[in-house]
Structure 1
Amino acid sequence: MATLRDIMTPGPVTVDGQATLKEVATLMLEQDIGAVLVMNGDRPTGIITDRDIVIRAVAYGHDYGTAVTDYTTGDVFTMDANTTVEEAAEEMGRKQLRRLPVTDGGRVIGIVSLGDLAVRALGDADEEALKGVSIPNNS
């Protein structure tokens, strides 16, 4: 059975909470990525996406020098690298996650996106995750 370690993108791009929107947007451009993990030491405290920058900051005319912590999605849910792809897909669907940081011994070592599930995973795991993310959460 495939695990998250098998399909993750290793070494996710990270910044500390003092990074500015401009710095993060520049990293996204240079690395050709759509999400950056915000860290406090070894602990992820948030994630910011290109969409977060546009919808939460640019659309309101906010200063690009503002710290990213004002625009991140907090309470980062992670899963261990040895978790099966199927288990991860179920959790991503249940929690409506598009990106999942992967840990080993509590340290972030990679990230899995819905795209990784769709392109790299075998079986219907990606379909389950897509269903969960696509269905509005009424709670």
Structure 2
Amino acid sequence: MTQHVRDIMTKDLVTVAPLTSVVDVAQLMRREDIGDVLVVEDGHLRGMVTDRDLVVRVMAEGGNPGDRTVASACSEDLLTVGPGDTVGDVIGLMREHAVRRVPVVEGDRPVGIVSLGDLAIERDPGSALGDISAARPDG
């Protein structure tokens, strides 16, 4: 039986508006123990910011991070999939484009996200990546 993205995606999305400060986003990531946040404006997906984006696009450039908004740090040209796409399709896209997270959208409205960890838990729960992804976060 073909498995679909809706079956494995994370549905509890953490989102911010484009003008949210990067400091607030970093604190949100720490509080929620996540590595990515979707940037949403009026319900529409505008981008995604990861913990790596904050380091490479904000911290490495210097200056005062408190003066920067997430709009200046997020990736805007995103690969997306739909909830009805197959898990095999999303694996192929992630491999081809070397990405670890893919937003799931209906139209341009986010409804979920699929991560490499989600796939590991689903496809190979006994693997090291599956074990790490399923483990409770360190306090």
TM category (shorter chain) comes to 0.7 to 0.9
Instruction: Name structure 2 gaps, 5 residues minimum.
Output: 125-139
Q: What are the Cα deviations for residues 56-101 of structure 1, in whole angstroms up to 9, with x where unaligned?
A: 2112323222111111111122111011100111112222221111
Counterpart-to-counterpart distance in 2, 1:73 and 1:22: 17
Unaligned runs of 5+ in 1: 123-139
**Judging changes above 3 Å, is the alpha-carbon distance between structure 1 residues 57 and 76 closer, same or farther for their aligned structure 2 residues?**
same
- 1:48-87 to structure 2, matched below 5 A, reads 48-65=49-66, 66-87=68-89
Q: Which position in structure 2 is the counterpart of 1:128?
A: none
Q: CA RMSD in A?
A: 1.5
Percent of pairs identical after alignment?
40
Deviates more, 1:76-85 or 1:26-35: 76-85
Distance 2:47 2:120 in 1: 24
**SS at structure 2 position matched to 1:46:** strand
How far the C-alpha of 1:109 sits from its partner, in A, is 1.1
- Partner SS for 2:65: coil
Alignment of 1:104 with 2:138, yes or no, is no
Q: Report the Cα offset of residue 119 of structure 1.
A: 1.3
Give the Cα–Cα distance (whole angstroms) in 2 for the partners of residues 101 and 19 of structure 1: 19
Aligned length: 122
